[in-house]
Chains A and B, each alone.
Chain A
Amino acid sequence: NAGVMQNPRHLVRRRGQEARLRCSPMKGHSHVYWYRQLPEEGLKFMVYLQKENIIDESGMPKERFSAEFPKEGPSILRIQQVVRGDSAAYFCASSSEDRGYNEQFFGPGTRLTVL
Chain B
Amino acid sequence: EAGVAQSPRYKIIEKRQSVAFWCNPISGHATLYWYQQILGQGPKLLIQFQNNGVVDDSQLPKDRFSAERLKGVDSTLKIQPAKLEDSAVYLCASSLSNQPQHFGDGTRLSIL
A binds B: no
B: residues with CB less than 8 A from A are: none
A: residues with CB less than 8 A from B are: none
